[in-house]
Amino acid sequence: MAINRIWKPSPNYSSRGGSAVRLITVHTSEGATTNQNLANFICQSSAQASYHISVDNTSSGVCYEYVSRPNKAWAQCNANPVAVTGCFCTPSGASSGWSRDYWLNNQMTALKNMAQWVKEESDYWGIPLKALTDSEAQGSGKGVCQHENLGSWGCGHYDCGPGFPMDKLLELAGGTAPPDNGVRFDDDMGAITQTPHTVPVPPGATKVVVTADPGGQGTQSIAVRVALHNNGTAGWEVNNLSLTQDKPVASVSTSGHDSVSMQVNGNYEAGYGFA
Protein backbone atom coordinates (compact mmCIF):
# COMPACT_ATOMS: atom_id res chain seq x y z
CA MET A 1 0.00 0.00 0.00
CA ALA A 2 1.36 3.43 -0.97
CA ILE A 3 2.28 5.76 1.83
CA ASN A 4 -0.16 8.64 2.38
CA ARG A 5 1.77 11.79 1.46
CA ILE A 6 0.38 14.85 3.21
CA TRP A 7 1.51 17.93 1.29
CA LYS A 8 3.05 20.63 3.47
CA PRO A 9 4.92 22.86 1.00
CA SER A 10 8.16 24.40 2.16
CA PRO A 11 9.62 27.50 0.52
CA ASN A 12 13.10 26.10 1.09
CA TYR A 13 14.01 24.38 -2.18
CA SER A 14 15.69 25.04 -5.50
CA SER A 15 16.45 23.49 -8.88
CA ARG A 16 18.62 20.41 -9.24
CA GLY A 17 20.39 22.15 -12.11
CA GLY A 18 20.11 19.12 -14.35
CA SER A 19 21.73 16.67 -11.87
CA ALA A 20 20.47 13.09 -11.90
CA VAL A 21 19.14 11.67 -8.63
CA ARG A 22 21.20 8.71 -7.40
CA LEU A 23 20.83 8.83 -3.59
CA ILE A 24 18.01 8.14 -1.17
CA THR A 25 19.23 9.61 2.13
CA VAL A 26 17.78 9.31 5.62
CA HIS A 27 18.22 11.79 8.48
CA THR A 28 17.07 12.39 12.04
CA SER A 29 15.51 15.71 13.03
CA GLU A 30 17.18 15.87 16.48
CA GLY A 31 14.44 17.92 18.11
CA ALA A 32 11.09 17.77 16.28
CA THR A 33 9.41 14.55 17.43
CA THR A 34 6.33 14.63 15.18
CA ASN A 35 5.68 15.47 11.54
CA GLN A 36 3.69 18.51 12.56
CA ASN A 37 6.46 19.78 14.84
CA LEU A 38 8.93 19.48 11.98
CA ALA A 39 6.51 21.09 9.52
CA ASN A 40 6.17 24.10 11.81
CA PHE A 41 9.90 24.68 11.31
CA ILE A 42 10.53 23.45 7.75
CA CYS A 43 7.65 25.45 6.28
CA GLN A 44 9.14 28.80 7.33
CA SER A 45 11.56 30.52 4.97
CA SER A 46 13.67 31.48 7.98
CA ALA A 47 14.54 27.80 8.51
CA GLN A 48 16.68 27.76 5.34
CA ALA A 49 16.47 23.95 5.49
CA SER A 50 14.12 21.24 4.26
CA TYR A 51 13.61 17.55 3.50
CA HIS A 52 11.53 15.94 0.81
CA ILE A 53 9.50 14.10 3.46
CA SER A 54 9.38 13.24 7.15
CA VAL A 55 7.95 10.33 9.11
CA ASP A 56 7.19 9.97 12.79
CA ASN A 57 6.43 7.09 15.14
CA THR A 58 2.80 8.02 15.80
CA SER A 59 1.19 8.16 12.34
CA SER A 60 1.21 4.74 10.64
CA GLY A 61 1.27 4.82 6.84
CA VAL A 62 1.79 8.59 6.69
CA CYS A 63 4.54 10.99 5.71
CA TYR A 64 4.58 14.77 5.39
CA GLU A 65 5.93 15.94 2.04
CA TYR A 66 7.66 19.32 1.90
CA VAL A 67 9.52 19.43 -1.43
CA SER A 68 8.46 17.77 -4.68
CA ARG A 69 10.68 15.19 -6.35
CA PRO A 70 11.91 17.35 -9.26
CA ASN A 71 13.39 19.92 -6.85
CA LYS A 72 16.24 19.62 -4.39
CA ALA A 73 15.64 19.92 -0.66
CA TRP A 74 18.17 21.73 1.51
CA ALA A 75 19.44 19.06 3.86
CA GLN A 76 22.94 17.90 2.98
CA CYS A 77 25.01 20.63 1.33
CA ASN A 78 26.72 19.43 -1.86
CA ALA A 79 24.67 16.22 -1.99
CA ASN A 80 21.35 18.05 -2.36
CA PRO A 81 21.20 18.03 -6.19
CA VAL A 82 21.63 14.23 -6.42
CA ALA A 83 19.44 13.13 -3.49
CA VAL A 84 15.90 12.67 -2.31
CA THR A 85 15.77 13.04 1.44
CA GLY A 86 13.65 11.57 4.21
CA CYS A 87 13.79 12.58 7.87
CA PHE A 88 12.86 10.62 11.00
CA CYS A 89 11.24 12.90 13.59
CA THR A 90 13.32 12.30 16.72
CA PRO A 91 14.26 14.03 19.96
CA SER A 92 17.67 15.61 20.37
CA GLY A 93 20.40 13.03 20.90
CA ALA A 94 18.79 10.22 18.89
CA SER A 95 21.70 9.89 16.46
CA SER A 96 24.25 9.52 19.25
CA GLY A 97 22.17 7.71 21.86
CA TRP A 98 19.72 5.34 20.17
CA SER A 99 20.90 1.75 19.95
CA ARG A 100 19.88 -0.75 17.30
CA ASP A 101 17.59 -2.41 19.86
CA TYR A 102 15.90 0.90 20.63
CA TRP A 103 15.19 1.55 16.97
CA LEU A 104 13.77 -1.95 16.47
CA ASN A 105 11.76 -2.08 19.71
CA ASN A 106 10.52 1.51 19.92
CA GLN A 107 10.53 3.04 16.44
CA MET A 108 9.05 0.36 14.22
CA THR A 109 6.15 2.52 13.02
CA ALA A 110 8.62 5.16 11.85
CA LEU A 111 10.86 2.53 10.25
CA LYS A 112 7.94 1.02 8.33
CA ASN A 113 6.80 4.45 7.18
CA MET A 114 10.28 5.35 5.97
CA ALA A 115 10.73 1.95 4.31
CA GLN A 116 7.57 2.45 2.26
CA TRP A 117 8.76 5.88 1.13
CA VAL A 118 12.22 4.48 0.31
CA LYS A 119 10.61 1.74 -1.78
CA GLU A 120 8.50 4.25 -3.73
CA GLU A 121 11.50 6.48 -4.40
CA SER A 122 13.56 3.47 -5.45
CA ASP A 123 10.87 2.46 -7.93
CA TYR A 124 10.43 6.00 -9.25
CA TRP A 125 14.11 6.86 -9.72
CA GLY A 126 15.43 3.38 -10.51
CA ILE A 127 17.73 3.49 -7.47
CA PRO A 128 18.71 0.05 -6.11
CA LEU A 129 17.74 -0.87 -2.55
CA LYS A 130 21.31 -1.29 -1.35
CA ALA A 131 23.24 0.43 1.41
CA LEU A 132 26.16 2.55 0.25
CA THR A 133 29.58 2.89 1.82
CA ASP A 134 30.96 6.37 2.49
CA SER A 135 33.06 6.29 -0.68
CA GLU A 136 30.13 5.11 -2.81
CA ALA A 137 27.76 7.74 -1.40
CA GLN A 138 30.32 10.53 -1.89
CA GLY A 139 31.40 9.22 -5.29
CA SER A 140 29.03 8.00 -7.97
CA GLY A 141 27.20 5.15 -6.24
CA LYS A 142 23.45 4.66 -6.51
CA GLY A 143 21.57 3.46 -3.43
CA VAL A 144 20.44 4.28 0.09
CA CYS A 145 22.57 5.98 2.73
CA GLN A 146 22.50 7.84 6.02
CA HIS A 147 23.44 11.49 6.29
CA GLU A 148 26.66 10.43 8.03
CA ASN A 149 27.82 8.52 4.93
CA LEU A 150 28.09 11.82 3.03
CA GLY A 151 30.92 13.17 5.21
CA SER A 152 31.96 16.80 4.91
CA TRP A 153 30.67 16.83 1.32
CA GLY A 154 27.20 16.44 2.81
CA CYS A 155 27.64 18.93 5.72
CA GLY A 156 29.58 16.63 8.07
CA HIS A 157 26.64 15.42 10.18
CA TYR A 158 26.39 12.06 11.98
CA ASP A 159 22.74 11.08 11.71
CA CYS A 160 21.09 8.61 11.82
CA GLY A 161 23.88 7.21 14.01
CA PRO A 162 25.84 3.97 14.62
CA GLY A 163 22.79 2.19 16.06
CA PHE A 164 20.59 2.79 13.03
CA PRO A 165 19.35 -0.54 11.53
CA MET A 166 19.89 0.14 7.83
CA ASP A 167 19.59 -3.58 7.12
CA LYS A 168 16.10 -3.65 8.64
CA LEU A 169 15.04 -0.53 6.73
CA LEU A 170 16.09 -2.15 3.45
CA GLU A 171 14.43 -5.42 4.39
CA LEU A 172 11.15 -3.61 5.10
CA ALA A 173 11.50 -1.78 1.79
CA GLY A 174 11.81 -5.09 -0.05
CA GLY A 175 15.54 -4.99 -0.66
CA THR A 176 18.37 -6.97 0.85
CA ALA A 177 21.15 -5.72 3.07
CA PRO A 178 24.67 -6.01 1.63
CA PRO A 179 26.60 -9.02 2.95
CA ASP A 180 29.08 -6.79 4.79
CA ASN A 181 26.42 -4.81 6.67
CA GLY A 182 26.99 -4.47 10.40
CA VAL A 183 30.12 -5.12 12.44
CA ARG A 184 32.74 -7.77 11.80
CA PHE A 185 35.30 -9.06 14.29
CA ASP A 186 38.67 -10.34 13.15
CA ASP A 187 39.78 -13.58 14.78
CA ASP A 188 43.40 -12.47 15.05
CA MET A 189 42.55 -9.28 16.85
CA GLY A 190 41.42 -10.92 20.07
CA ALA A 191 40.75 -8.89 23.20
CA ILE A 192 42.60 -5.69 23.97
CA THR A 193 43.63 -4.97 27.52
CA GLN A 194 45.18 -1.61 28.34
CA THR A 195 48.20 -2.07 26.07
CA PRO A 196 47.56 -0.29 22.75
CA HIS A 197 46.41 -2.76 20.11
CA THR A 198 46.93 -1.65 16.50
CA VAL A 199 45.47 -3.37 13.46
CA PRO A 200 45.06 -2.38 9.80
CA VAL A 201 41.74 -1.02 8.60
CA PRO A 202 40.41 -3.33 5.85
CA PRO A 203 39.18 -1.89 2.54
CA GLY A 204 35.60 -0.66 2.73
CA ALA A 205 35.44 -0.31 6.51
CA THR A 206 33.59 2.85 7.50
CA LYS A 207 33.90 2.74 11.28
CA VAL A 208 35.63 0.91 14.09
CA VAL A 209 33.67 -0.34 17.09
CA VAL A 210 34.73 -1.50 20.55
CA THR A 211 32.50 -3.97 22.41
CA ALA A 212 32.65 -5.28 25.96
CA ASP A 213 34.00 -8.77 26.58
CA PRO A 214 31.01 -11.18 26.46
CA GLY A 215 32.37 -12.72 29.64
CA GLY A 216 31.67 -9.54 31.59
CA GLN A 217 28.39 -8.63 33.24
CA GLY A 218 26.36 -5.49 33.65
CA THR A 219 27.41 -1.94 32.94
CA GLN A 220 30.99 -0.92 33.52
CA SER A 221 32.65 2.48 33.37
CA ILE A 222 35.96 2.24 31.56
CA ALA A 223 38.32 4.57 29.78
CA VAL A 224 38.61 4.09 26.03
CA ARG A 225 41.00 5.85 23.70
CA VAL A 226 40.86 5.33 19.97
CA ALA A 227 43.63 6.55 17.68
CA LEU A 228 43.29 6.57 13.91
CA HIS A 229 46.59 6.37 12.07
CA ASN A 230 47.26 7.68 8.59
CA ASN A 231 50.81 7.43 7.30
CA GLY A 232 52.24 7.20 10.79
CA THR A 233 50.28 10.04 12.37
CA ALA A 234 47.49 9.66 14.89
CA GLY A 235 45.04 11.64 16.96
CA TRP A 236 42.97 10.40 19.89
CA GLU A 237 39.27 10.50 19.03
CA VAL A 238 37.26 8.92 21.88
CA ASN A 239 37.88 9.24 25.61
CA ASN A 240 36.33 8.17 28.93
CA LEU A 241 33.04 6.56 27.96
CA SER A 242 30.59 4.65 30.17
CA LEU A 243 30.13 1.35 28.39
CA THR A 244 27.70 -1.56 28.61
CA GLN A 245 28.82 -5.19 28.39
CA ASP A 246 28.40 -7.01 25.07
CA LYS A 247 27.11 -3.97 23.17
CA PRO A 248 28.76 -1.64 20.65
CA VAL A 249 30.28 0.95 22.94
CA ALA A 250 32.42 3.29 20.86
CA SER A 251 32.46 4.06 17.16
CA VAL A 252 34.62 6.36 15.07
CA SER A 253 34.88 6.89 11.33
CA THR A 254 37.82 5.21 9.60
CA SER A 255 37.59 7.34 6.47
CA GLY A 256 41.04 8.10 5.08
CA HIS A 257 42.92 6.05 7.69
CA ASP A 258 44.92 2.87 7.22
CA SER A 259 45.07 1.55 10.79
CA VAL A 260 43.52 2.00 14.20
CA SER A 261 44.93 1.69 17.71
CA MET A 262 42.82 1.13 20.82
CA GLN A 263 43.67 1.28 24.48
CA VAL A 264 41.14 0.35 27.15
CA ASN A 265 41.05 -0.14 30.88
CA GLY A 266 39.33 -3.52 30.80
CA ASN A 267 38.88 -6.56 28.55
CA TYR A 268 37.22 -5.58 25.28
CA GLU A 269 37.23 -6.45 21.61
CA ALA A 270 37.56 -4.28 18.54
CA GLY A 271 35.63 -4.75 15.31
CA TYR A 272 35.02 -3.03 11.99
CA GLY A 273 31.70 -1.56 10.91
CA PHE A 274 30.58 -1.57 7.29
CA ALA A 275 27.85 0.77 6.13
pLDDT in tens, 224-234: 677 777 766 66
The rounded distance, in Å, linking the Cα atoms of 29 and 114 is 14
Three-state DSSP string of the chain: CCCEEEECCCCCEEECCCCCCCEEEEEECCCCCCHHHHHHHHCCHHHCCCCCEEECCCCCCEEEECCCCCEEECCCHHHHHHEEEEEECCCCCHHHHCCHHHHHHHCHHHHHHHHHHHHHHHHHHCCCCCECCHHHHHCCCCEEEEHHHHHHHHCCCCCCCCCCCHHHHHHHHCCCCCCCCEEECCCCCCEECCCCEEEECCCCCCEEEEEECCCCCCEEECCEEEEEEECCEEEEEECCCEEECCCEEEEEECCCCCEEEEEECCCEEEEEEEC
Domains parsed from the chain with CATH numbers: 4-173 (3.40.80.10), 182-274 (2.60.120)
Q: What is the pLDDT along the chain (275 residues), one digit of tens a residue?
A: 799 999 999 999 999 999 999 999 999 999 999 999 999 999 999 999 999 999 999 999 999 999 999 999 999 999 999 999 999 999 999 998 899 989 999 999 999 999 999 999 999 999 999 999 999 999 999 999 999 999 999 999 999 998 999 989 999 999 754 444 455 555 444 566 666 777 667 656 667 776 655 444 555 555 667 777 776 666 666 555 555 544 556 667 777 677 777 776 666 666 666 54
pLDDT in tens, 45-61: 999 999 999 999 999 99
| φ/ψ bin of 231: left (φ > 0), alpha (ψ from -120 to 50), beta (otherwise) | left
Q: Could you tell me the pTM of the whole model?
A: 0.67
- Length of the chain equals 275
Torsion of CA 113, 137, 210, 101, to 10 degrees: 0
